[in-house]
Every structure is written in C-alpha cells, then in structure tokens.
C-alpha cells in the first residue's frame, strides 16, 4: 500500500497571512499591540493555544490565563472561516492529484483545529483527496509532535506506515516519534536550519514530489 500523509499549514497552504490577520483583530479588540506577519509565521506549528501563548509573550503579557482564554476565543471566532488571504503553494494540488492517480492513499495530520482545517480544505477543493482521513489539533487530547495524531490517520487509512510530508520542526519530530520516513518542504514555516531537522528528503517544489515518492514506493 502506498500511503502519504501531509501537514497542512506551511506544507500545502500558506495560511500565515490569514492567521496573522485573525490574531491582530483579536489583539486589537483586547487593546493590545499588534504582531508582525513574520512573528505570526514564527509562532505557527504547535496549535492555536500555543500560537496565542507565543503571541501574548510577544506583546508583553505572558502567563495571563484569563487574557489567553479571551484572546484565543477571539482568534478562533475569526479563524474558522479565514481563507481570503491564504494561498495554495504552487503545484501542491497537482501533486496530490498525481499521487491519487497513481494509487497513493492520502491523509492529513495538522495541528490546525479540525473545523477550520476542513473549512480551508473545502475552500481550496482539497477535501476529496483526504476524505475522512483528517486529524486536527483538537481531534485528540494530544497534538503533534506526539505521534498519536499521525498514528490515528494511519489507522483511518488502514495502513501501518506512510511517508509523512511537512515543513517544520514539529513535523520532523512527529515523523521520528511515529517511526515514519519524513519529506521536508523547504518553503514553509521552518525555524531551524535544515541540517538540524531529521528528514529523509528535502524539496522546494511540489511538482517534484510525486515522482520522488513513486520511486520509493514499497521501500
């Protein structure tokens, strides 16, 4: 069985501009300073609660539980339908289509909350590639880099193993924790040097992904 499981934010979609806009609107409502797009991009990867935790630290309000809850609620209320500034990475949809056409079973494992994850997949016409094999950051009691979310997607696909494709430290650690090979997309939200992330292959063009994976099918 040929199985590939993808991360979402920073791997298939550049969602940082929408995430930034939602965060700034929530900060503004709370009378707090705004963060930059570069800051928002650097805070992505460990789920919405951690994103808000990092945001509050950046604006000088760390450790305030009540403010965290308020800001998270304001952020999530906007985040569910936030697609206007998001863009597909070039070649991402075509890569998914090519993989499906050659018999690959596809899943999605993201720390994005499941409702906005499904919303943005539908908006960009990607839902059909993954069906029900989608796990979000609030689907289980734990999030990546715990291996449980990736293992849950594998169970949905009836598979024991996969290639995991992601863009970040969190994704690299998830693949390693789940003992699965990892392909690293270089155009996402990675913070550390490539050499610091455990990976089996690194790529900067989605168009190269189907042929590369097909060449390693069954290995």
Phi-psi region of 144 (alpha: psi -120 to 50; beta: other; left: phi over 0): beta
**C-beta neighbour count of 141 within 10 angstroms:** 7
CA-closest candidate to residue 142, choices 132, 134, 133, 152: 152
Per-position b or e across 63-75, b if 16+ CB within 10 A of its CB: eeeebbeebbebb
Active-site residue list: 7
CA-closest candidate to residue 2, choices 90, 102, 94: 102
Degrees (nearest 5) of the Cα angle 110, 96, 190? 45
Listing DSSP states for 195-206 in one string gives: GGS--SEEES-G
Distance CA 21, CA 6 (A): 25
Q: Alpha-carbon dihedral of residues 191, 193, 195, 198, nearest 10 degrees?
A: 0
Q: Is 136 in contact with 117 (CB distance < 8 Å)?
A: yes
């Amino acid at each position: 069985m040929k199985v590939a499981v993808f991360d979402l934010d920073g791997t298939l979609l550049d969602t940082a501009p929408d995430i930034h806009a939602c965060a700034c609107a929530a900060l503004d409502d709370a009378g707090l300073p705004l963060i930059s797009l570069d800051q928002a991009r650097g805070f992505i990867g460990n789920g919405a609660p951690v994103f808000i935790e990092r945001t509050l630290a950046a604006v000088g309000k760390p450790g305030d539980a009540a403010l965290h809850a308020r800001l998270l609620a304001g952020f999530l209320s906007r985040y569910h339908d936030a697609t206007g500034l998001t863009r597909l990475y070039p070649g991402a949809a075509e890569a998914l289509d090519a993989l499906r056409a050659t018999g690959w079973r596809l899943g999605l494992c993201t720390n994005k909350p499941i409702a906005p994850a499904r919303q943005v997949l539908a908006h960009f016409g990607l839902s059909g590639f993954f069906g029900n094999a989608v796990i979000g950051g609030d689907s289980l009691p734990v999030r990546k880099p715990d291996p449980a979310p990736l293992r849950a997607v594998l169970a949905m696909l009836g598979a024991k193993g996969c290639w995991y494709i992601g863009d970040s430290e969190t994704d690299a650690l998830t693949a390693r924790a789940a003992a699965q090979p990892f392909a690293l997309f270089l155009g996402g939200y990675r913070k550390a040097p490539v050499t610091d992330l455990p990976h089996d292959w690194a790529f900067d063009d989605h168009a190269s992904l189907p042929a590369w994976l097909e060449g390693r099918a069954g290995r």
